[in-house]
């Protein structure tokens, strides 16, 4: 089960279709492209285990590049398209990337990258001269490289310091590029994916995210046609399901919310009868939203809980969710443990830190302290989430130890924003929290203590936004500034963010009741 075998057995079968343009790449074409890219990596001096980065929008090249890296034994570093030049350069340097593959969609940050990372060569889709990816590929053969090896990717996830941390996966179990990965079994046995090549899979999210990247490559392994949305749009997603006969899909709760808010005449306009399975994760899904989706689409919705670290996964189908609303299911990969602060396991219905026991444990790149902090004395690993299991063994998430904000399925870490705010000369103190948001799950709120409370107001907010804008990705920009004479900080320096989060949660409840 691998694109190589599908390219041999049915080379003309569509592997990738871009939902908007209809551009199609067959398995045969993808195989040749991947081989050329693997040769290109070798020609550029990248050996097995070397790192290169990809900064690209959703396009027809992205997954083909992934498969080239997968057979070259290299470590691919996907970079968020929302980051600023300084944020991108930090990742490139931290990962010791030997090459950046990008496109003209990022011309606004490429000047900064070239200036700060002048020693890292660039290849661009649609580039010119030595930077043309197309020209570089054309010079390479379409056959396999002689030293094929399974590649991996290292995703970056911010830590408590606010700096992104690379998640280095455990080494591949063997050197066979055709070896079946664990996610294939989880998809087929757990989610019920067909393994006969009949699947037509819709991917509406950015491909640099862990979930789209993992599920898309798994879909290719089972011979699926992947329909990639250039950018999510609620009506366009429904139209794509009808147009391409989508059988399977992957979502985040924000997608559900936006589709549910469509006018009923639009929601019922499209034929969704081919749609057999819809998986979702990335953020807690409000119970009313999930219930309404099941009423609309039927019991085809499958929720899972996992992380970029790949240490474990829970899964729940609609039938079980309806009897255990709010649950994210039972563990289907790794063994789940719920522990108190001393590391002792707690009984059912008791909140604790969630750990997964797994033979393959990743590490955080260049950060042994963060790796150690995530480990249980027994060798289990945590993603930092708090939750409990019920008497039936179903898991419920109740909090995030790190106070991470999840907005629209994107992980946002407050410390980075706080560190920037407190460096402004008019700011005494700052706390950044996630507050409930009906559209995105959570919104970023900056609670700021000004040096002079008399300056609090719209003018100061505008000044702080102007200050943050060139240093911060737009998704991280606070949606709300709340100016206060002091923050709930203990004399020892500890900031009680929970008080602020609870306050905004209560306000959201009141607003909902009054609506």
* Range with lowest mean pLDDT among 30-34, 182-186, 406-410, 437-441: 182-186
Using DSSP, state whether 254 is helix, strand or coil: helix
**Is the separation of the CB atoms in 402 and 408 below 8 Å?**
no
β 381-389/75-78 pair status: unpaired
Question: How is residue 439 written in tokens?
Answer: 């559209």
Residues 316 and 451 in one domain: no
**What are the C-alpha distances in Å from 422 to residues 405, 415, 428, 429, 508?**
19, 11, 6, 6, 27
Please tell me the distance from the alpha carbon of residue 197 to that of residue 199, in angstroms, as a whole number.
6
**Residue 509, exposed/middle/buried by CB under 10 A (0-12, 13-18, 19+)?**
exposed
Residues 388 and 489 in one domain: no
Residues 56 and 74 in one domain: yes
pLDDT score recorded for residue 43: 97
64 in a structural domain: yes
339 in a structural domain: yes
Nearest partner of 354 among 396, 390, 326, judged by Cα:
396
Q: For 326, left (φ over 0), alpha (ψ -120 to 50), or beta?
A: left
Domain containing residue 353: CATH number: 2.30.38.10
Residues 449 and 382 in one domain: no
pLDDT in tens, 30-64: 999 999 999 999 999 999 999 999 999 999 999 99
Q: Which helix (H) or strand (E) holds 427?
A: strand 427-437
Domain end point (choices 175, 202, 219)? 175
Please tell me the distance from the alpha carbon of residue 209 to that of residue 308, in angstroms, as a whole number.
9
**What are the C-alpha distances in Å from 295 to residues 201, 269, 319?**
22, 16, 12
Residues 375 and 464 in one domain: no
DSSP 454: G
Residues 171 and 33 in one domain: yes
Residues 383 and 415 in one domain: no
pLDDT score recorded for residue 492: 38
Q: What average pLDDT score do residues 329-353 get?
A: 95
**Is the separation of the CB atoms in 389 and 395 below 8 Å?**
yes
What helix, strand, coil percent values describe the chain, rounded to 5? 35, 25, 40
Domain end point (choices 347, 379, 400)? 400
Instruction: Lay out the sheet containing 301-305: strands in order across.
Output: 24-26, 14-18, 225-228, 200-203, 248-251, 277-280, 301-305, 313-317, 330-333
Residues 68 and 157 in one domain: yes
What end-to-end distance do the CA atoms of the chain give, in Å? 51
Domain end point (choices 400, 433, 450)? 400
pLDDT in tens, 226-236: 999 999 999 99
Write the DSSP string, 100-136. Answer: EEEEGGGHHHHHHHHHH-TTS-EEEET--GGGBHHHH
> Which residue segment(s) compose the domain that 136 sits in?
27-175
Label residue 400 by pLDDT band (50, 70, 90): low
pLDDT score recorded for residue 66: 98
The total domain count for the chain is 3
**Residue 144, exposed/middle/buried by CB under 10 A (0-12, 13-18, 19+)?**
middle
415-424 CB burial, b ≥16 within 10 A, e <16: bbbbebbeeb
Residues 351 and 431 in one domain: no
4 in a structural domain: no
**411 compared with 336, residue with greater pLDDT:** 336
CA atoms within 13 A on the CB side of 227: 24
382 in a structural domain: yes
**Is the separation of the CB atoms in 332 and 190 below 8 Å?**
yes
238 in a structural domain: no
pLDDT score recorded for residue 162: 55
The yes-or-no verdict on residue 509 having pLDDT over 90 is no
Residues 171 and 309 in one domain: no
87 in a structural domain: yes
280 in a structural domain: no
Residues 460 and 351 in one domain: no
243 in a structural domain: no
Phi, psi of 444 (to 5 degrees): -85, 125
Residues 382 and 441 in one domain: no
Nearest partner of 482 among 464, 511, 457, judged by Cα:
457
pLDDT in tens, 56-77: 999 999 999 999 999 999 999 9
**E strand segments, 282-426:** 301-305, 313-317, 330-333, 335-339, 352-357, 363-364, 381-389, 395-400, 405-407, 410-412
Domain containing residue 120: CATH number: 3.40.50.12780
Label residue 191 by pLDDT band (50, 70, 90): confident
Nearest partner of 105 among 53, 66, 57, judged by Cα:
57
């Amino acid at each position: 089960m691998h694109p190589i075998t599908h390219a041999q057995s049915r080379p003309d079968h569509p592997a990738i279709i871009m939902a908007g343009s209809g551009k199609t790449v067959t398995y045969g074409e993808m195989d040749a492209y991947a081989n050329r890219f693997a040769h290109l990596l070798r020609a550029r001096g990248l050996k097995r285990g070397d790192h290169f980065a990809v900064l690209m929008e959703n396009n027809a090249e992205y997954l083909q590049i992934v498969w080239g890296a997968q057979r070259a034994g290299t470590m691919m570093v996907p970079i968020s398209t929302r980051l600023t030049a300084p944020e991108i350069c930090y990742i490139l340097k931290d990962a010791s990337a030997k090459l950046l593959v990008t496109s003209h969609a990022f011309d606004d940050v490429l000047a900064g990258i070239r200036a700060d990372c002048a020693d890292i060569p660039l290849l661009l889709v649609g580039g010119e001269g030595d930077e043309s990816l197309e020209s570089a590929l054309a010079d390479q053969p379409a056959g396999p490289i002689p030293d094929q090896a399974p590649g991996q990717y290292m995703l970056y996830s911010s830590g408590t310091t606010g700096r992104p941390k690379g998640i280095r996966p455990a080494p591949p179990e063997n050197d066979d590029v055709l070896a079946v990965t664990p996610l294939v079994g989880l998809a087929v046995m757990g989610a019920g994916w067909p393994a006969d090549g009949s699947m037509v899979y819709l991917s509406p999210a950015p491909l640099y995210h862990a979930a789209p990247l993992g599920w898309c490559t798994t879909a290719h392994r089972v011979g699926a046609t992947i329909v990639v949305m250039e950018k999510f749009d609620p009506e366009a997603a429904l139209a794509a399901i009808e147009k391409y006969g989508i059988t399977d899909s992957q979502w985040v709760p924000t997608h559900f919310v936006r589709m549910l808010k469509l006018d009923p005449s639009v929601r019922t306009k499209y034929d969704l009868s081919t749609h057999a399975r819809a998986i979702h994760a990335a953020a807690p899904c409000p119970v009313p939203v999930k219930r309404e989706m099941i009423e609309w689409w039927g019991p085809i919705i499958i929720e899972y809980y996992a992380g970029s670290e790949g240490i474990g996964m829970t899964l729940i189908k609609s039938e079980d969710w309806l009897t255990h609303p709010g649950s994210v299911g039972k563990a289907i990969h790794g063994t789940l443990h719920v522990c108190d602060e001393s590391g002792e396991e707690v009984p059912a219905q008791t909140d604790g830190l969630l750990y997964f026991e797994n033979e393959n444990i990743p590490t955080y790149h260049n950060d042994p302290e963060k790796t150690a902090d995530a480990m249980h004395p027994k060798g289990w690993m945590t993603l930092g989430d708090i939750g409990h299991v019920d008497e039936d063994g179903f898991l419920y998430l109740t909090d995030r130890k790190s106070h991470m904000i999840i907005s629209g399925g994107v992980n946002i870490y407050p410390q980075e924003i706080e560190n920037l705010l407190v460096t402004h000369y008019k700011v005494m103190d700052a706390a950044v929290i996630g507050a409930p948001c009906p559209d995105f799950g959570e919104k970023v709120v900056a609670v700021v203590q000004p040096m002079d409370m008399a300056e609090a107001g719209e003018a100061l907010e505008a000044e702080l936004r102007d200050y943050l804008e060139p240093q911060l990705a737009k998704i991280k920009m606070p949606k709300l500034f709340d100016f206060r004479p002091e923050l709930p900080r203990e004399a020892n320096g500890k900031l009680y963010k929970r008080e602020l989060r609870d306050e905004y949660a209560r306000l959201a409840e009141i607003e909902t009741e009054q609506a």
